[in-house]
Protein backbone atom coordinates (compact mmCIF):
# COMPACT_ATOMS: atom_id res chain seq x y z
CA UNK A 1 0.00 0.00 0.00
CA UNK A 2 1.40 3.38 -1.07
CA UNK A 3 2.37 5.75 1.68
CA UNK A 4 0.43 9.05 1.70
CA UNK A 5 2.24 12.04 3.13
CA UNK A 6 0.85 13.34 6.41
CA UNK A 7 0.53 16.87 5.06
CA UNK A 8 -1.82 15.63 2.36
CA UNK A 9 -4.18 14.17 4.98
CA UNK A 10 -4.10 17.50 6.80
CA UNK A 11 -4.72 19.44 3.59
CA UNK A 12 -7.73 17.31 2.67
CA UNK A 13 -9.12 17.70 6.19
CA UNK A 14 -8.82 21.50 6.01
CA UNK A 15 -10.36 21.63 2.55
CA UNK A 16 -13.23 19.40 3.70
CA UNK A 17 -13.85 21.66 6.68
CA UNK A 18 -13.96 24.68 4.38
CA UNK A 19 -16.36 22.97 1.98
CA UNK A 20 -18.78 21.92 4.73
CA UNK A 21 -18.76 25.06 6.87
CA UNK A 22 -20.12 27.55 4.32
CA UNK A 23 -23.47 27.85 2.56
CA UNK A 24 -21.96 28.44 -0.87
CA UNK A 25 -18.76 26.91 -2.22
CA UNK A 26 -17.28 27.05 -5.68
CA UNK A 27 -14.36 26.03 -7.84
CA UNK A 28 -12.36 28.84 -9.43
CA UNK A 29 -9.59 28.80 -12.01
CA UNK A 30 -6.53 30.90 -11.17
CA UNK A 31 -4.44 29.84 -14.18
CA UNK A 32 -2.04 32.43 -15.52
CA UNK A 33 -2.41 34.90 -12.67
CA UNK A 34 0.98 36.05 -11.35
CA UNK A 35 1.50 35.66 -7.60
CA UNK A 36 1.39 39.38 -6.68
CA UNK A 37 -1.84 39.96 -8.62
CA UNK A 38 -3.40 36.82 -7.10
CA UNK A 39 -2.60 38.02 -3.59
CA UNK A 40 -4.15 41.40 -4.39
CA UNK A 41 -7.31 39.75 -5.74
CA UNK A 42 -7.58 37.51 -2.68
CA UNK A 43 -7.22 40.56 -0.45
CA UNK A 44 -9.94 42.42 -2.32
CA UNK A 45 -12.44 39.60 -1.89
CA UNK A 46 -11.38 38.44 1.59
CA UNK A 47 -14.22 40.20 3.45
CA UNK A 48 -16.84 38.19 1.56
CA UNK A 49 -15.15 34.92 0.64
CA UNK A 50 -12.27 32.59 1.51
CA UNK A 51 -10.01 31.26 -1.24
CA UNK A 52 -7.92 28.13 -0.72
CA UNK A 53 -5.42 27.04 -3.36
CA UNK A 54 -4.43 23.39 -3.47
CA UNK A 55 -3.63 20.50 -5.78
CA UNK A 56 -6.52 19.39 -7.96
CA UNK A 57 -6.27 15.80 -6.73
CA UNK A 58 -6.58 16.93 -3.10
CA UNK A 59 -9.55 19.19 -3.90
CA UNK A 60 -11.34 16.25 -5.53
CA UNK A 61 -10.58 14.03 -2.55
CA UNK A 62 -11.96 16.73 -0.22
CA UNK A 63 -15.13 16.95 -2.31
CA UNK A 64 -15.64 13.21 -1.87
CA UNK A 65 -15.20 13.59 1.89
CA UNK A 66 -17.55 16.62 1.97
CA UNK A 67 -20.23 14.61 0.14
CA UNK A 68 -20.67 12.57 3.34
CA UNK A 69 -22.07 15.69 5.04
CA UNK A 70 -23.27 17.86 2.12
CA UNK A 71 -25.29 15.93 -0.44
CA UNK A 72 -24.58 16.83 -4.06
CA UNK A 73 -21.41 18.83 -3.46
CA UNK A 74 -19.22 16.18 -5.13
CA UNK A 75 -20.77 17.27 -8.46
CA UNK A 76 -18.19 20.06 -8.38
CA UNK A 77 -15.49 17.47 -9.14
CA UNK A 78 -16.13 17.85 -12.87
CA UNK A 79 -15.28 21.55 -12.52
CA UNK A 80 -11.85 20.96 -10.96
CA UNK A 81 -9.66 21.76 -13.95
CA UNK A 82 -6.84 24.09 -14.87
CA UNK A 83 -5.17 25.56 -11.81
CA UNK A 84 -8.13 25.13 -9.48
CA UNK A 85 -8.87 26.60 -6.07
CA UNK A 86 -11.78 26.40 -3.65
CA UNK A 87 -13.80 29.51 -2.81
CA UNK A 88 -16.23 29.50 0.11
CA UNK A 89 -18.70 32.17 1.21
CA UNK A 90 -22.09 32.83 2.76
CA UNK A 91 -23.27 35.35 0.16
CA UNK A 92 -25.57 34.10 -2.61
CA UNK A 93 -24.03 32.70 -5.83
CA UNK A 94 -25.03 35.75 -7.90
CA UNK A 95 -23.32 38.13 -5.48
CA UNK A 96 -20.30 35.82 -5.39
CA UNK A 97 -20.01 35.82 -9.19
CA UNK A 98 -20.23 39.61 -9.23
CA UNK A 99 -17.40 39.86 -6.71
CA UNK A 100 -15.26 37.42 -8.69
CA UNK A 101 -15.96 39.20 -11.98
CA UNK A 102 -14.86 42.50 -10.42
CA UNK A 103 -11.33 41.06 -9.93
CA UNK A 104 -10.70 40.89 -13.67
CA UNK A 105 -8.26 43.31 -15.30
CA UNK A 106 -6.64 43.50 -18.73
CA UNK A 107 -2.95 42.83 -19.26
CA UNK A 108 -0.58 42.80 -22.26
CA UNK A 109 0.14 39.50 -23.99
CA UNK A 110 3.60 37.96 -23.80
CA UNK A 111 3.08 35.45 -26.59
CA UNK A 112 1.95 31.85 -26.40
CA UNK A 113 -1.35 32.58 -24.65
CA UNK A 114 -4.64 31.36 -26.12
CA UNK A 115 -6.91 34.20 -27.25
CA UNK A 116 -10.19 34.11 -25.33
CA UNK A 117 -11.80 36.37 -27.96
CA UNK A 118 -10.99 37.78 -31.40
CA UNK A 119 -8.11 40.24 -30.97
CA UNK A 120 -8.74 43.13 -33.32
CA UNK A 121 -6.92 46.33 -34.22
CA UNK A 122 -9.11 49.18 -35.43
CA UNK A 123 -8.54 51.68 -38.20
CA UNK A 124 -7.10 55.05 -37.24
CA UNK A 125 -3.99 56.89 -36.15
CA UNK A 126 -1.13 55.24 -34.26
CA UNK A 127 1.38 56.79 -31.84
CA UNK A 128 4.27 55.98 -34.20
CA UNK A 129 6.29 58.33 -36.38
CA UNK A 130 6.93 57.35 -40.03
CA UNK A 131 9.74 54.84 -40.40
CA UNK A 132 10.47 51.09 -40.29
CA UNK A 133 7.51 50.60 -37.95
CA UNK A 134 5.22 50.49 -41.00
CA UNK A 135 6.94 47.35 -42.28
CA UNK A 136 6.93 45.83 -38.79
CA UNK A 137 3.18 46.36 -38.50
CA UNK A 138 2.57 44.88 -41.94
CA UNK A 139 4.77 41.88 -41.10
CA UNK A 140 2.39 40.84 -38.28
CA UNK A 141 -0.64 41.33 -40.51
CA UNK A 142 -1.67 44.84 -39.50
CA UNK A 143 -2.58 46.96 -42.58
CA UNK A 144 -0.43 50.04 -41.90
CA UNK A 145 0.50 52.97 -44.12
CA UNK A 146 1.81 56.52 -43.96
CA UNK A 147 -0.79 59.22 -44.53
CA UNK A 148 -0.31 62.97 -44.09
CA UNK A 149 2.92 62.38 -42.21
CA UNK A 150 1.35 59.88 -39.78
CA UNK A 151 1.42 56.12 -39.45
CA UNK A 152 -2.14 54.88 -39.67
CA UNK A 153 -3.98 51.56 -39.62
CA UNK A 154 -5.99 51.54 -42.83
CA UNK A 155 -8.79 49.18 -41.77
CA UNK A 156 -10.02 47.04 -38.91
CA UNK A 157 -8.24 43.71 -38.76
CA UNK A 158 -8.55 40.61 -36.56
CA UNK A 159 -4.93 39.67 -35.93
CA UNK A 160 -5.62 36.64 -33.71
CA UNK A 161 -8.84 34.66 -33.81
CA UNK A 162 -10.52 33.33 -30.68
CA UNK A 163 -9.01 30.03 -29.56
CA UNK A 164 -5.74 30.56 -31.46
CA UNK A 165 -2.32 31.02 -29.87
CA UNK A 166 -0.97 34.56 -29.78
CA UNK A 167 2.39 34.70 -31.62
CA UNK A 168 5.22 36.44 -29.76
CA UNK A 169 5.79 39.07 -32.49
CA UNK A 170 2.07 39.90 -32.58
CA UNK A 171 1.98 40.15 -28.78
CA UNK A 172 4.93 42.56 -28.85
CA UNK A 173 3.27 44.78 -31.45
CA UNK A 174 -0.06 44.76 -29.62
CA UNK A 175 1.77 45.95 -26.54
CA UNK A 176 3.36 48.82 -28.49
CA UNK A 177 -0.11 49.78 -29.70
CA UNK A 178 -1.39 49.80 -26.11
CA UNK A 179 -3.70 46.84 -26.71
CA UNK A 180 -4.02 44.53 -23.68
CA UNK A 181 -5.87 41.41 -24.86
CA UNK A 182 -5.25 39.19 -21.84
CA UNK A 183 -7.86 39.18 -19.11
CA UNK A 184 -6.38 38.44 -15.71
CA UNK A 185 -8.70 37.53 -12.89
CA UNK A 186 -10.43 34.80 -11.00
CA UNK A 187 -12.78 32.68 -13.12
CA UNK A 188 -15.63 30.82 -11.46
CA UNK A 189 -16.06 27.34 -12.95
CA UNK A 190 -19.19 26.56 -10.88
CA UNK A 191 -20.79 27.21 -7.50
CA UNK A 192 -22.80 24.95 -5.21
CA UNK A 193 -25.76 25.92 -2.99
CA UNK A 194 -28.41 23.68 -1.42
CA UNK A 195 -27.89 20.80 -3.84
CA UNK A 196 -27.79 23.04 -6.92
CA UNK A 197 -24.81 23.65 -9.22
CA UNK A 198 -24.68 27.11 -10.79
CA UNK A 199 -22.61 27.75 -13.92
CA UNK A 200 -21.22 31.17 -14.92
CA UNK A 201 -23.67 31.54 -17.81
CA UNK A 202 -26.54 31.41 -15.30
CA UNK A 203 -24.90 33.73 -12.77
CA UNK A 204 -23.65 36.34 -15.23
CA UNK A 205 -26.68 38.63 -15.39
CA UNK A 206 -27.10 42.38 -15.80
CA UNK A 207 -28.58 43.30 -12.43
CA UNK A 208 -29.90 46.69 -13.58
CA UNK A 209 -31.71 45.12 -16.55
CA UNK A 210 -32.91 42.22 -14.39
CA UNK A 211 -34.35 44.55 -11.73
CA UNK A 212 -35.96 46.70 -14.44
CA UNK A 213 -37.57 43.64 -16.02
CA UNK A 214 -38.71 42.49 -12.57
CA UNK A 215 -40.35 45.85 -11.84
CA UNK A 216 -42.07 45.83 -15.25
CA UNK A 217 -43.34 42.27 -14.69
CA UNK A 218 -44.65 43.25 -11.24
CA UNK A 219 -46.46 46.29 -12.63
CA UNK A 220 -48.02 44.27 -15.47
CA UNK A 221 -49.13 41.51 -13.09
CA UNK A 222 -50.58 44.06 -10.64
CA UNK A 223 -52.46 45.86 -13.45
CA UNK A 224 -53.92 42.56 -14.71
CA UNK A 225 -54.91 41.51 -11.18
CA UNK A 226 -56.67 44.85 -10.63
CA UNK A 227 -58.45 44.59 -13.96
CA UNK A 228 -59.62 41.05 -13.17
CA UNK A 229 -60.46 41.96 -9.55
CA UNK A 230 -58.19 39.17 -8.33
CA UNK A 231 -58.02 39.46 -4.56
CA UNK A 232 -54.66 38.92 -2.87
CA UNK A 233 -52.48 40.66 -0.32
CA UNK A 234 -51.16 43.12 -2.88
CA UNK A 235 -54.51 44.08 -4.45
CA UNK A 236 -57.06 43.90 -1.63
CA UNK A 237 -56.50 47.45 -0.33
CA UNK A 238 -56.60 48.96 -3.83
CA UNK A 239 -59.66 46.91 -4.85
CA UNK A 240 -61.56 48.03 -1.72
CA UNK A 241 -60.68 51.66 -2.47
CA UNK A 242 -61.76 51.20 -6.10
CA UNK A 243 -65.05 49.61 -5.00
CA UNK A 244 -65.65 52.42 -2.51
CA UNK A 245 -65.09 55.10 -5.17
CA UNK A 246 -67.44 53.33 -7.59
CA UNK A 247 -70.14 52.89 -4.94
CA UNK A 248 -69.78 56.47 -3.75
CA UNK A 249 -70.00 57.84 -7.31
CA UNK A 250 -73.13 55.75 -8.01
CA UNK A 251 -74.76 56.87 -4.75
CA UNK A 252 -74.16 60.53 -5.55
CA UNK A 253 -75.46 60.07 -9.10
CA UNK A 254 -78.66 58.35 -7.84
CA UNK A 255 -79.10 60.82 -4.93
CA UNK A 256 -78.83 58.13 -2.25
CA UNK A 257 -78.45 59.83 1.11
CA UNK A 258 -75.73 58.51 3.40
CA UNK A 259 -73.35 60.20 5.80
CA UNK A 260 -70.68 60.01 3.08
CA UNK A 261 -72.79 61.35 0.21
CA UNK A 262 -74.68 64.06 2.14
CA UNK A 263 -71.98 66.79 1.82
CA UNK A 264 -71.71 66.26 -1.94
CA UNK A 265 -75.47 66.05 -2.42
CA UNK A 266 -75.97 69.30 -0.50
CA UNK A 267 -73.26 70.97 -2.55
CA UNK A 268 -74.87 69.63 -5.72
CA UNK A 269 -78.28 70.94 -4.59
CA UNK A 270 -76.75 74.32 -3.79
CA UNK A 271 -75.28 74.59 -7.26
CA UNK A 272 -78.60 73.56 -8.83
CA UNK A 273 -80.48 76.15 -6.73
CA UNK A 274 -78.07 78.90 -7.76
CA UNK A 275 -78.41 77.92 -11.39
CA UNK A 276 -82.23 78.04 -11.20
CA UNK A 277 -82.31 81.30 -9.24
CA UNK A 278 -80.36 83.07 -11.97
CA UNK A 279 -83.38 82.64 -14.25
CA UNK A 280 -86.01 83.86 -11.73
CA UNK A 281 -86.89 87.63 -11.63
CA UNK A 282 -87.22 89.13 -8.12
CA UNK A 283 -90.75 90.21 -6.92
CA UNK A 284 -91.45 93.56 -5.13
CA UNK A 285 -93.09 93.73 -1.70
CA UNK A 286 -96.26 95.21 -3.28
CA UNK A 287 -96.67 92.15 -5.39
CA UNK A 288 -95.58 93.86 -8.55
CA UNK A 289 -92.65 92.61 -10.53
CA UNK A 290 -89.57 94.73 -10.23
CA UNK A 291 -88.83 96.46 -13.51
CA UNK A 292 -85.94 95.04 -15.37
Residues 43-89 have pLDDT tens digits of 778 788 999 999 999 999 999 999 999 999 999 999 999 899 999 99
Are the beta carbons of 198 and 27 closer than 8 angstroms?
no
Look up the CATH number of domain 119-182.
Answer: 3.90.105.20
Are the beta carbons of 38 and 103 closer than 8 angstroms?
no
Domain ranges of the chain: 6-104+185-205, 119-182, 209-275
Residues in the chain: 292
DSSP structure string for 27-79: EEE-TT--HHHHHHHHHHHTTTEEEEE--HHHHHHHHHHHHTTSTTGGGGGGG
pLDDT tens, position by position, 151-210 = 999 999 999 999 999 999 999 999 999 999 988 888 999 999 999 999 999 998 877 888
Q: What's the first-to-final CA gap in the chain, in angstroms?
A: 129
- pLDDT at 234 exceeding the cut of 80: yes
| CATH superfamily of this structure's domain 6-104+185-205 | Ribosomal protein L10, N-terminal RNA-binding domain (3.30.70.1730)
Higher pLDDT, 283 or 8: 8
Amino acid sequence: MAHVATWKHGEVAELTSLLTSHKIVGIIDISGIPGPQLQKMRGGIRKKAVIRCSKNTLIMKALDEAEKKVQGISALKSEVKGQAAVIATDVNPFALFKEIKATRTNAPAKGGEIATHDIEVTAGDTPFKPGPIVGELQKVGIPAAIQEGKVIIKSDKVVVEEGKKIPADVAQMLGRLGIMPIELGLHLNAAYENGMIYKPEVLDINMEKFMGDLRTAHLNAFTLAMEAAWINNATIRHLVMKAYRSAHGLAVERTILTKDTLPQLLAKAQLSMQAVSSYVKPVSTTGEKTPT
